[in-house]
Structure 1
Amino acid sequence: MKAVATKLVLMLCLFLTTSSLVAQDQRLRMGSRLPRDAFLSDFQLMSDILKQAHPGMYLHTSKEQFADDFAETVEKLRTAGNRPSLRQFFLLATEALDPIRCGHTYLLPPPSVQDRLQYGGKLFPIPIKVFGNKFYVDQRKTDLPFGTEIISINDRSPAELLSILGPLVSQDGFVESFRETYIEDNFSELYAIRFGFTESFDLQVRRSDQSSVETISIPAKRASNLYDQAEPRASREGRELAFRIDFPNDSTAFIAIDTFDSGNGSPPFRLYKSTLKKFFSVVDRHEDSFDNMIIDLRYNDGGYTRNEMLLYSYLTNNPFAEVDNAEILTSELPYKQHLDREYVTKGLAKYYQRTLSKDFEESYNGTLQISEDGNPIIPPNRKAFDGKIYVLIGGRTYSAGSSFCSRLKAAHPNVEFIGEETGGASGAFTAGTLLMYTLPNSRCKLAVPIIRYQTVKQTKSADRGVMPDYPVKQTLEDFRAGKDTVLQAALELVKDD
């Protein structure tokens, strides 16, 4: 009887605690204040999870330096008053993660804030394009004409905003190109996280056909309306399809692949696979005509490595493995009680553990390295292209997209890269299986990748992205005229070669 009563009390406590957390989560705003010790507890849990799960914590910093930086950030929280705001915690927590310099390690606001960012919150309504430290309107159907320069937003210059919002974006190594493009793509949400939701924005602008500066006020737009009614960005016109094929001249084949993110057997994967098959079949049938190939990866933000390898199999005559090496800290998932079950269900967690146990084995130095079975040798496709290859890259070329470029650059003697540094690091990086944790007090979500990959042998500039052989940036004039500066440069190189 006593045991039954105790169990009922525990169940009631669990119910009340869970109900309290759910209610708290629904009420949380970035301005919400909680006891300092609650946030400090989340900080400590974040540190403990990273140390047990993240195999790439010290790729770009030392263990000692990270400890010093983390302690310094914790001290800032200790001096933030007895009841700091959720925004203060979030900004300091992202600051604490920054020294890891891993683009797959990041913090998300609690679900209540994410809901407002996606549905009910009021956001900055104009898509922007960044050139240097300047913002320009990147949409044709807005109150401001396309190409208008935005000189300030609520009395802050673009340069100041880029500096303030930059720390909210995690990045690989010391690659700055990714941060700029991420801010460009997610400016409205980042602004709201940092400064809060507002009903209107005061702007200073200079229209492209005028030299004078005017001051205007524009209303914010509800997030749901902004996404539902948004016209495509002007800079992405013609990029509505993720995979695109063209033959710009008699000797050149062109393919754009904007993502590797399609699961095996899914409709997007079948489309991707059939697109590659169709494209390379045409090139193979006319192999005497097509001496050059342009592969556009400027918008490829990564995805599944099997998709990256499928493309690579059409570009090599040699068998290859997925990676040069990969390692994990443990095949168990640490701190399971804090896993976010919306992202990592119990079934998915069990699948992760089975796969990790099967694909990784203990090596001579005590680490868990990928096994031969987990890293099989892949044969080249019989229709592999052996002509000259030009790859278009930029700050959005990330994760598996950047990994593909590292592989191609290291092994292919007949490839040239055109554009800007890739957003993903060229050396080792941590990605693969991504665990999402809920920090119990702030309800923020912590993303932790648990596989450290080395696609190719270590490069000298492992903390930077893949560098272009021909650096080319989109110009403001071509942007306003709707011209693709980088693609035109590639076509000129084809002509010269």
Structure 2
Amino acid sequence: MRKPMLSPLPILYIVTCLLFACTRGVKHTTPLQDSLLPVEAMQSDADVLWTALSEIHPGFGIYTAPDSMERQYRQLRASLTAPMTEDAFVAKLYPFLCYLGCGHTQVRHSVHYHPATNVFRLPFEVLVQQQRAWITTRRTTKLATGDEIIRMNGVPVAAIIAHGSQLYCGDGYVPSFKELYLSEYDGFEDACNTVYHWQPPYQLTVKGADGALKEVTLNAADTALKEMVIPEDKYAGWRKVDSTGYLGLYFAPAAHTALLEVPVLAYTDTLAMQKSFAQIAKANTKYLVLDMRHNGGGDLRIAMRLLSYLADTDFRIIKDLYCRLPDPSKHRLGADFDSALTENFKASCTPGALVDGHYHMNILPAFGQGYGPLPVAKKDRYRGELIVLTDGGTFSSGALFISALKAQRAHTIFAGRETAGTAEGCNGFAMQELTLPATGIKVEFPWLRVVSMSTPAQKGRGNMPDSVVEYTPADIVAGRDMDLRLAQAIIQRKMAGAAH
């Protein structure tokens, strides 16, 4: 499975993010059978995890009530009745953790983990939307792009999607990230392997374009088809600027229109924003498309820098940063957390006043004015028409940036899909890693809660676009960028209106 990958922690002042890597990650597989985990070890680690979540985790109780979380923990513990592989144990941990509603809390295998190679690849890929699944790319002539899967091996597709949604944690109740995970990162296939342990032949009930149902049997040999589809060149007619580092900057010919792609908020090139907006100003840009899709976050300081070029006036990037304990490292589980990351935490902030049961954290001066107000850019600030693209991969500080931009810039159009990060904020800033002592399995574990600048209409949901863009299976296979197409159509309407 191609998993959304967590970024490394080279600096302190970050909101750790899910970076959607294009490379294929470690799949859920069946490890060697001589490495079964003892029941006592798994139960002990379940107890440690519960203690850490209920007493330290800043997101505990926000999206699932504490008593409901405790019921889930007790069900998890009661299910640990026989030795099992590490993969099987991880597969039991994830549904429990998903109730927390924190996309920064993810499970990582122990250093002793040895996966086997008997992983079965499905001869098709899917597009998941609204609890339904359609065939996109296929490796068999028995299926067609656009076929809707109704059942697989007798199981309704909605049940497969529900199980697959519990194999990776996301923020709040946001469906867009789960749909992206199931579609683009092979989460649907992962559910077939991890939850159902299916292998060929597969029995599918699908609905074709004509609405008729048909039964299809897919054997192991049904993988020979290689569709020769040349993806659409979405940059046709755009001129790329080569001096903007990791940012993608493009100009449309003779239209005063620019496209700025921000795939990650990276501190590796601190001049990238300055160079990009200097070029945007030089071109007398009147229409800017800001592409924040698949931006899994990164360094909050870079989010501040980006916002300084776009905000109407001096601005704030976050409202608050808090912790449930003044110093989580002094908790009785403190030794089970990473000591180097503990030093990062202490170097980035200090505890302040106790407010409503948690400690407001003071950001140390070495890491900037975290709360603001922060000044807008003195030079090359963009004040024209702005269209911002988001999707189910816009997460962490990427979503915090969207919340702050929405609150502090007028006359901005948001298009695409709901952000993966909730509009009200996330858990993160300075991340930690909890090692479950009996099995060695690791849990990415935030200590801090970041409150965004947004006042969301619905708790637990992401930043909503003004214009929602949905893709068809044919769009996916053809590589059509329907979000960018919409942005261009909006610009054309505005240009036509300005001409009259």
Q: Specify the code of the residue in structure 1 equivalent to 2:218.
A: S
| Alignment match, 1:400 | 397
Query: How far did 1:460 drift?
Result: 3.9
> What is the alpha-carbon distance in structure 1 between the residues aligned to residue 221 and residue 313 of structure 2?
55
Pick from 280, 283, 290 the counterpart of residue 286 of structure 1: 283
- Structure 1 residues 445-484: Cα deviation after superposition (integer angstroms, max 9, x where no partner): 2221112111215434342111111222223454455432
| Alignment match, 1:193 | 194
Q: Which has the larger radius of gyration?
A: 1
Pairwise mapping of residues 81-480 of structure 1 onto structure 2 (< 5 A)?
81=81, 83=83, 89-110=89-110, 115-116=115-116, 121-124=119-122, 126-139=124-137, 147=145, 149=147, 151=149, 152-184=151-183, 185-187=185-187, 188-196=189-197, 198=199, 201=202, 203=204, 213=214, 215-219=216-220, 243-248=247-252, 250-260=255-265, 262=266, 264-265=267-268, 269=269, 273-274=271-272, 276-287=273-284, 290-328=285-323, 329-333=325-329, 334=331, 335-339=333-337, 344=338, 346=339, 348-349=340-341, 351-356=343-348, 359-363=349-353, 365=355, 367-371=359-363, 373=365, 374-376=367-369, 377=372, 378-381=374-377, 382-456=379-453, 458-480=455-477
> What is the alpha-carbon distance in structure 2 between the residues aligned to residue 305 and residue 285 of structure 1?
27
Q: Specify the code of the residue in structure 1 equivalent to 2:196.
A: F
Residues 29 and 112, structure 1, Cα contact 8 Å, conserved in 2: no
Q: Specify the code of the residue in structure 2 equivalent to 1:459.
A: P
Q: Specify the code of the residue in structure 1 equivalent to 2:393.
A: R
Q: Specify the code of the residue in structure 2 equivalent to 1:355.
A: A
Cα 1:465–1:114, aligned 2, differ >3 Å: closer, same or farther?
farther
Structure 1: stretches of 5+ with no match in the other structure: 1-25, 222-229
Query: How far did 1:443 drift?
Result: 3.8
Query: How far did 1:113 drift?
Result: 5.4
SS of equivalent to 1:100 = coil
More displaced 10-residue stretch of structure 1: 475-484 or 392-401: 475-484
Structure 2: stretches of 5+ with no match in the other structure: 1-28, 236-244, 495-500
> What is the alpha-carbon distance in structure 1 between the residues aligned to residue 192 and residue 249 of structure 2?
36
- Structure 1 residues 377-434: Cα deviation after superposition (integer angstroms, max 9, x where no partner): 4432211100111111121211111111101000001211112211110003111222
Counting aligned pairs with the same residue, the percent is 21
| Alignment match, 2:46 | 43
SS of equivalent to 2:392 = coil
| Alignment match, 1:13 | none
Cα 1:216–1:406, aligned 2, differ >3 Å: closer, same or farther?
same
Residues 317 and 452, structure 2, Cα contact 8 Å, conserved in 1: yes
Residues 474 and 486, structure 1, Cα contact 8 Å, conserved in 2: no
Query: How far did 1:109 drift?
Result: 4.6
Q: Specify the code of the residue in structure 2 equivalent to 1:130.
A: V
SS of equivalent to 1:367 = strand
Cα 1:35–1:220, aligned 2, differ >3 Å: closer, same or farther?
farther
SS of equivalent to 1:392 = strand
Query: How far did 1:44 drift?
Result: 1.1
> What is the alpha-carbon distance in structure 1 between the residues aligned to residue 193 and residue 454 of structure 2?
41
Residues 403 and 454, structure 2, Cα contact 8 Å, conserved in 1: no
Residues 297 and 392, structure 1, Cα contact 8 Å, conserved in 2: yes
Cα 1:350–1:472, aligned 2, differ >3 Å: closer, same or farther?
closer
Residues 139 and 232, structure 1, Cα contact 8 Å, conserved in 2: no
> What is the alpha-carbon distance in structure 2 between the residues aligned to residue 108 and residue 140 of structure 1?
31
> What is the alpha-carbon distance in structure 2 between the residues aligned to residue 217 and residue 394 of structure 1?
33
SS of equivalent to 1:168 = coil
> What is the alpha-carbon distance in structure 1 between the residues aligned to residue 87 and residue 115 of structure 2?
16
When the two structures are superposed, what TM-score results if normalisation uses the length of structure 2?
0.75
Query: How far did 1:105 drift?
Result: 1.5
When the two structures are superposed, what TM-score results if normalisation uses the length of structure 1?
0.75
> What is the alpha-carbon distance in structure 2 between the residues aligned to residue 369 and residue 205 of structure 1?
53
- Structure 1 residues 335-368: Cα deviation after superposition (integer angstroms, max 9, x where no partner): 34434xxxx4x4x335314414xx2232154724
| Alignment match, 1:21 | none
> What is the alpha-carbon distance in structure 2 between the residues aligned to residue 252 and residue 45 of structure 1?
54
More displaced 10-residue stretch of structure 1: 193-202 or 375-384: 193-202
Query: How far did 1:183 drift?
Result: 1.6
Q: Specify the code of the residue in structure 1 equivalent to 2:194.
A: I
Q: Specify the code of the residue in structure 1 equivalent to 2:250.
A: D
Whichever structure has more helix as a proportion of its residues is: 1
| Alignment match, 1:7 | none
> What is the alpha-carbon distance in structure 1 between the residues aligned to residue 283 and residue 108 of structure 2?
49
| Alignment match, 1:15 | none
Pick from 60, 67, 70 the counterpart of residue 57 of structure 1: 60
Residues 290 and 386, structure 2, Cα contact 8 Å, conserved in 1: yes
Residues 231 and 478, structure 2, Cα contact 8 Å, conserved in 1: no
> What is the alpha-carbon distance in structure 1 between the residues aligned to residue 466 and residue 182 of structure 2?
26
- Structure 1 residues 82-121: Cα deviation after superposition (integer angstroms, max 9, x where no partner): 55676664444333323321111233454565744xx674
Residues 323 and 375, structure 1, Cα contact 8 Å, conserved in 2: no
> What is the alpha-carbon distance in structure 1 between the residues aligned to residue 376 and residue 228 of structure 2?
38
Residues 147 and 208, structure 1, Cα contact 8 Å, conserved in 2: no
| Alignment match, 1:19 | none
Q: Specify the code of the residue in structure 2 equivalent to 1:380.
A: V
> What is the alpha-carbon distance in structure 2 between the residues aligned to residue 156 and residue 85 of structure 1?
25
